[in-house]
Homo-oligomer: A and B are copies of this chain.
Amino acid sequence: METIERQGEAEGPGIEKRPRVRRNVTAAIAQDICADRYPSGSPLPRENDLCELYGVSRTVIRESLKVLESKGLVRGKPRVGTTVCDKDDWNILDADVLEWMGPYIKDFDLLGCILEARRTIEPAAAEYAAERASAQEIADLDNAWRQMRDSAHDPEGFTDADVMFHTVLLTASHNQVFRRLSSAIHAALKYALHASNIGVENREDAVLVHGQLVEALRMRDKAGARDCANRMLDLAVRDLAAAEKAIGRTK
């Protein structure tokens, strides 16, 4: 139950460090909610109890609750308490929320939804990027692609580069709505692909298509860019299926 790890927690004498506690507390409560320790729809403990549970003062608890409330995770009603909202109301496009969901992301069909959304959005974004990407953005894309290519045997680096690639792509679409979705894609890639270590050959396919997309953007080839994005997503579908099968096996 004691989820928060305060580094200077030592009751004893010594240095009594007390650093940046609020961020941690907010994340701790959020993660406890995501882990269903506080089930959706039921009330959180009283603020005073939360103080003891997480070992911080009420002010910190309240600031944390305000943040969580602002992201739709909980709803505080005056004088009756704070209740966990239904998952449908969570602001799942918020980067922090996705971060907090972390490993639990697969417990709520999010990965499928995000992939579905990508299937509609990324081809369009690629098309827009083909006509609007700046030289700098294309260069960034190219760098990300090179990093993907060069870290074919480094899963960590590969995922990072992949995330970077898609983030830059959405940015290059010069559409603020699309750009904002990069956090969702970030989370999806991080916790889907990374969870199921996809094979090297899959990565080689991905590198190929990503490279073709960069080339299409350079040529300002809208149709080509859309096509590459679609093929990229075909691979992503395959990877997600593999990941789910892997998870099913381990479970």
Contact = CB atoms under 8 A, between A and B. Distances in A.
Interface residues on A, range: 35 or more
A94 B97 CA distance: 12
A114 B177 contact: yes
Interface in A34-62: 59, 62
A78 to B, nearest CB: 8
B94 A91 contact: yes
Interface stretch (A117-125, A133-141, A231-239): A117-125
A180 B91 contact: yes
Contacts of A181: 93, 177
Nearest to A185: B177
Given A66-B22, A71-B70, A116-B175, A92 B124 contact: no
Contact of A176 (B66, B70, B113): B113
A88 interface: yes
Contact of A117 (B62, B109, B175): B175
B92 A70 contact: no
A104 interface: no
A4 interface: no
Given A88-B176, A108-B176, A117-B178, 5 more contacts: A20-B78, A70-B71, A91-B93, A92-B177, A113-B177
